[in-house]
Amino acid sequence: MKSCIYDTLMAPLEQVKLKQIRRDMLAGVKGNVLDIGSGTGASMPYYRQAESVTFLEPDEGKLKRISRRTALPHVSYYMAQASAENMPFSNDTFDEAAAFLAFCTIPDPIRALHETARVVKPGGRIQLLEHVRMDSHPRAARIQDILTPAWERVAEGCQLNRSTRHLVEKSPLRLERVQSLYGGLVLILEAYVPF
């Protein structure tokens, strides 16, 4: 999906809900931070306490849109055009990581979670905001299952029914906190890299 179309489609959701969620999640993020599946950089204004932010995004057009955003003057920004499954960083590079509506689209999310655990320092926090399969609402979950094949084709591979919480639980990360929003459709997952 072209980055300008992506921004246009996401704008209403961003203004109504995501803006405040991003602000709250990133309020205490410090140090050298990795933003996974950055899209067009909607999180950029909320990394107020970070020293540096590296935006990891496979789509060149979206990275160009990030580079045109207004940067915070005290934060260093870097762009990396790469997939989350093959991160071009050394072990223990980042203090923290965050991803917003990214792990629903990453083709191999388990590998991406392993890579995240590799590049974030032990004890480092990882925060994910993800829409997930609504397992506690069987009818809604069935609808998600039915819609996912068509949705994947029009939404860059996004899977409406991915159980990201279970994937994090199977990964090297340690899940510390789960916050459910909108009846379980959206989760904020906070995990850390074990020592």
pLDDT in tens, 29-71: 999 999 999 999 999 999 999 999 999 999 999 999 999 998 8
pLDDT digits (tens, 9 = 90+) for 82-125: 999 999 999 999 999 999 999 999 999 999 999 999 999 999 99
120: which strand partners? 94
Mean of the per-residue pLDDT values of the chain? 90
CATH assignment at residue 154: 3.40.50.150
Range of the domain at 172: 3-192
Asked whether the predicted pLDDT for residue 2 surpasses 90, the reply is no
pLDDT digits (tens, 9 = 90+) for 141-164: 999 989 989 988 888 888 999 999
pLDDT in the model for residue 151 = 87
The string of DSSP codes covering 71-106 is PPTT-EEEEE---TTS--S-TT-EEEEEEES-TTT-
pLDDT of residue 155: 82
Q: Residue 117: what pLDDT?
A: 98
Confidence of residue 16 (pLDDT cuts 50, 70, 90): low
**What is the number of domains present in the chain?**
1
